[in-house]
Amino acid sequence: MDEKHSHNCFAGTDEVASHSHRIEGISRPGSPSEHSHIHEIAVTTSLNNGHAHRFNIQTGEAIPYIKGHIHKYKGITSLNGKKPHRHNVYGRIYKQD
């Protein structure tokens, strides 16, 4: 599996302060890890309730999955908003090999 590829990322945050955000972006190319490779995801969330958040995490290692592989990820957004708060984000990204 070539680690120098990227993944499309689509996710949503949990609901905090009566709203949530969407996350869309492309991971950075893979970096070698102990057993396979990982990716970095660095995006700004959708603008909602008058603000956005930054989200910057590293995925877990590649997991074989239906003619390709996935990476799971989870993290927390930056602090922002009229009443400062954060959102939890989790999901997975897929790549057909």
Give residue for tokens 């090999």.
97
Q: In b/e form, how buried is each residue of 16-26, taking b as 16+ CB within 10 angstroms? A: beeebbebebe
Question: How far apart are alpha carbons 1 and 89 in whole angstroms?
Answer: 27
Question: How far apart are alpha carbons 78 and 80 in whole angstroms?
Answer: 6
pLDDT (0 to 100) of residue 82 = 93
pLDDT (0 to 100) of residue 64 = 94
pLDDT (0 to 100) of residue 1 = 62
Q: Is the CB of residue 51 less than 8 Å from the CB of residue 81?
A: yes
Q: Find the helix or strand (DSSP H, E) in which 32 lies.
A: strand 31-32
Q: What are the pLDDT tens digits along the chain (97 aa)? A: 666 899 999 999 999 999 999 999 999 999 999 999 999 999 999 999 999 999 999 999 999 999 999 999 999 999 999 999 999 999 999 988 7
Task: Output the six-digit token pair for 82.
Answer: 């009229």
Tell me the pLDDT tens digit for each residue of 5-33: 999 999 999 999 999 999 999 999 999 99
- C-alpha 12 chain-centroid distance: 9
Go through the chain and tell me how many residues it has.
97
